[in-house]
Amino acid sequence: MHKASHPDHHRWISHTANTRGCVRPVRLTGSLHTVDTTTGEILGTRHTATDMPDGVLYVPCGDRRASVCPPCAETYRADTYQLIRSGLVGGKGVPESVAGHPAVFATFTAPSFGPVHTRVVNTKTGKVRPCRIRRDARPCPHGKLLTCTQRHTDNASCLGRPICLDCYDHAAHVVWNAWAGELWRRTMIRLGRDLRPYEHAHGIRLRVSYGKVAEYQRRGVVHFHALIRLDTRPNTDPKRGPLQDPDAILPPPEDITPVDLAELVAGAASTTAFRTPDYLDTGHSWPITWGPQIDIRPVAGLADGEITSEAVAAYLAKYATKATEPTGLPTTGRMTAEAAEHYSDARTHLGRLVAYAFQLGTPPEDLVPLGATDDERDQLRRDWHDTWGRLRRWTHMLGFGGHFATKSRRYSTTHRELRAARRIWRRTTQQQWQRDQGHDVDDTTLVVADLTLAGIGWNSTADAQLAASAAARAREYRALVKQERTTTSA
C-alpha cells in the first residue's frame, strides 16, 4: 500500500524530512530521553519502536560522493563552499579581515608517466589543436608512432589513455598517487621555510593556511586544487613582545603581495622532490615530484580581478563530491583480491593501474624472514602497512589514500562545525515555530539518544520515492523563500 493514502502520511513525511532526500538513510532503533539539564532528571522517553513511524529514526547517510547519494553530496558540496569561502572573505567564525590577506589559487598536477591522448585548446583562437604532433617521430620499442593528429572532442573516450600502453609507466603512476599527500605536506613545509627572510625582516612569524581538494584527472592520477592564504602567526612568546590570542587570524605585512606569494608557491612546488623508500630488495625507488604544469594565480578580492573568491569556492566545492568517476573506475569500497583480479586487465589502461596498485601493495610471502623475533615481525608488518601496503588498501582509488577535501587547522571552520550549526539552527527554528504556535518551549531540556543501527536504506522503493519528492518540494520552497528575500532586500 502506498503511504500517500495512509492517514499517517503527513506524520511520516515530517518524520523523514531531516534526511533531505538521502537515498540510503541510516535506520536507528532505541530510545530518546528528554533530560532536564539542571537536575539531570529524565522527563520523558520515546521509543522508536512504539512512538515513531516505521519504528525507526532516519538519519542521512552523509556520503560526499554524488555517485553514491546525490542529496547528501549536495549538502557536502554546499558545506565545502561555505568552508572555502569563509577562509577567503570571512564569516562562520573567521574575521572579515582575511579578505585582505594575500591568497593564491593553485593547481598542482602530477608529472608525465608516458604520452596520453589530450585535448588542447588554443587559448587565443579557441580552436582545438591536434592531439600530439611530432615531426620526425620514430616508432617506439613496441612499434608505435607516438603521435596522434586527431582533434579530440571533449567527451572522446580515448582522452587520458596512453598512446602506447607499453610505453606508459603504470607502476610509477600508482606509486605517485600513493605519495601525493606526502609531496603536498613537504611542499607546504618548504613554503614555510622560504618565508623566513620575510619573517626576519619584520620580526614576526608567518603561517600558510590552505583549503585543498583532490581531483582525478582522466588519466587516473590525482591532482590538487588549493587555496593558499598567508597569515601572521599570533605571538605566544612573551620575549618577542605583547602576547596575542593564539586562535587569532592576523594579516601579514602589507609589502607581501599576492604576486609574491604566487612566486613563493611556484618556487616551493618546483624544488620539492624526494624518492620513495626502496621497493623490497630490488633496490628500486621512484622519484616523487610535481609535474611542470603548475597553475598558480593570485586571488582577487570580491571587488574585481580574474578569479573571485566566490568562483574559487564554487569550483573547489564541485570537485569535493567526485571520486574516481572521471577515470571510468566504478565507485567501490576496498577491493578484495577477487575484485582486484576482476578489474585487472593488461589490455586496458585502467586495468593495468588496478593490477599494479594491488600487486605492488601485496606483501611477499617472505616479508618476515624465518627466525625473526616477534618485535622484528611486528616492525616489518607496520613498515609495510605505512608504505607499500597503502597501494593495496587504496587500489579502488588507484593508490591515492588521502582525503578529498582537507584544510590546514586555521584556514576556516570545519564540516563538523557546519553540521552542528545546522542541527542547532534546526532545533532553534523548531522551537521558534513552537513558540509561534503558542507552545511552551523549555531551553533547559536536552535529548539524549540511546540508539543502535537497525539497517541502511528505505524499507521500500515507494518510501524512497516519497521521501525524495518531499525533499524536492522542501528544496523548491527554500529556494522560493530565498528568492523572495533577495528581491525584497534589493
Which three-class secondary structure state does DSSP give residue 301? coil
Please identify, among the stretches 98-106, 125-133, 433-441, 447-455, the one whose residues bind Zn ion according to the rule CB under 5 A. Answer: 125-133
Q: If you write DSSP's letter for every residue of 49-103 in order, what string do you get? A: HHHSGGGSEEE------TTT-HHHHHHHHHHHHHHHHHHHH-BTTB-GGGGGS-E
**Cβ closest to Zn ion, residue 67 vs residue 387:** 67
Can residue 72 be called a binding residue for Zn ion (CB under 5 A)? Answer: yes
Please identify, among the stretches 60-68, 171-179, 318-326, 400-408, the one whose residues bind Zn ion according to the rule CB under 5 A. Answer: 60-68
Can residue 368 be called a binding residue for Zn ion (CB under 5 A)? Answer: no
Can residue 59 be called a binding residue for Zn ion (CB under 5 A)? Answer: no
- Say how far apart CA 6 and CA 278 lie, in whole Å: 66
Which amino acid makes up residue 307?
Answer: I
Can residue 349 be called a binding residue for Zn ion (CB under 5 A)? Answer: no
Applying CB under 5 A, among 27, 64, 85, 117 the residue interacting with Zn ion is 117
Can residue 263 be called a binding residue for Zn ion (CB under 5 A)? Answer: no
Applying CB under 5 A, among 13, 66, 131, 208 the residue interacting with Zn ion is 131
Closest by CA to 172, choosing from 131, 224, 249, 112, is 112
Please identify, among the stretches 26-34, 144-152, 436-444, 449-457, the one whose residues bind Zn ion according to the rule CB under 5 A. Answer: 144-152
Please identify, among the stretches 43-51, 96-104, 138-146, 201-209, the one whose residues bind Zn ion according to the rule CB under 5 A. Answer: 138-146
Can residue 300 be called a binding residue for Zn ion (CB under 5 A)? Answer: no
Distance of CA 106 to the CA centre of its chain: 16
- Say how far apart CA 307 and CA 129 lie, in whole Å: 26
CA distances 200 to 197, 341, 478, Å, are 5, 56, 52
Please identify, among the stretches 14-22, 31-39, 256-264, 275-283, the one whose residues bind Zn ion according to the rule CB under 5 A. Answer: 14-22
Burial 4-26 (b: 16+ CB within 10 A, else e): eeeeeeeebbebbebbbbbbbbb
- Say how far apart CA 143 and CA 164 lie, in whole Å: 9
Residue count (the chain) = 490
Can residue 119 be called a binding residue for Zn ion (CB under 5 A)? Answer: no
- In the complex, least distance from residue 221 CB atom to Zn ion, rounded to whole angstroms: 18
Can residue 464 be called a binding residue for Zn ion (CB under 5 A)? Answer: no
Distance of CA 368 to the CA centre of its chain: 36
- In the complex, least distance from residue 164 CB atom to Zn ion, rounded to whole angstroms: 3
Can residue 228 be called a binding residue for Zn ion (CB under 5 A)? Answer: no
Can residue 22 be called a binding residue for Zn ion (CB under 5 A)? Answer: yes
Residue with cell 613563493: 264
**Cβ closest to Zn ion, residue 21 vs residue 258:** 21
- In the complex, least distance from residue 186 CB atom to Zn ion, rounded to whole angstroms: 32
Can residue 467 be called a binding residue for Zn ion (CB under 5 A)? Answer: no
> Which residues, listed in sequence order, are joined to residue 451 by a DSSP beta bridge?
30
**Cβ closest to Zn ion, residue 231 vs residue 463:** 463
Strands in 203-328 per DSSP E: 206-216, 222-232, 273-275, 287-289, 295-298
Can residue 134 be called a binding residue for Zn ion (CB under 5 A)? Answer: no
Can residue 474 be called a binding residue for Zn ion (CB under 5 A)? Answer: no
**Cβ closest to Zn ion, residue 18 vs residue 445:** 18
Residue 42, H or E segment? strand 42-47
Can residue 323 be called a binding residue for Zn ion (CB under 5 A)? Answer: no
**Cβ closest to Zn ion, residue 147 vs residue 308:** 147
**Subset of residues 243 to 262 that bind Zn ion, contact rule: CB under 5 A:** none
- In the complex, least distance from residue 75 CB atom to Zn ion, rounded to whole angstroms: 8
**Cβ closest to Zn ion, residue 148 vs residue 391:** 148
Can residue 468 be called a binding residue for Zn ion (CB under 5 A)? Answer: no
Q: Which cell goes with 331?
A: 565507485
Can residue 159 be called a binding residue for Zn ion (CB under 5 A)? Answer: no
Residue 470, H or E segment? helix 461-489
Can residue 166 be called a binding residue for Zn ion (CB under 5 A)? Answer: yes
Judge residue 300's burial from the number of C-beta atoms within 10 Å of its C-beta, 0-12 exposed, 13-18 middle, 19 or more buried: middle
Please identify, among the stretches 43-51, 113-121, 391-399, 476-484, the one whose residues bind Zn ion according to the rule CB under 5 A. Answer: 113-121
Can residue 26 be called a binding residue for Zn ion (CB under 5 A)? Answer: no
**Cβ closest to Zn ion, residue 69 vs residue 83:** 69
Can residue 116 be called a binding residue for Zn ion (CB under 5 A)? Answer: no
Tell me the number of residues near Zn ion by CB under 5 A.
14
Phi/psi of residue 34, each to 5°?
-95, 120
- Say how far apart CA 343 and CA 158 lie, in whole Å: 19
CA distances 383 to 393, 401, 482, Å, are 14, 16, 54
- In the complex, least distance from residue 127 CB atom to Zn ion, rounded to whole angstroms: 16
Phi/psi of residue 73, each to 5°?
-65, -35
**Cβ closest to Zn ion, residue 142 vs residue 185:** 142
Can residue 61 be called a binding residue for Zn ion (CB under 5 A)? Answer: yes
Task: Catalog residues that contact Zn ion under the rule CB under 5 A.
Answer: 22, 60-61, 69, 72, 117, 131, 140, 142, 148, 150, 164, 166-167
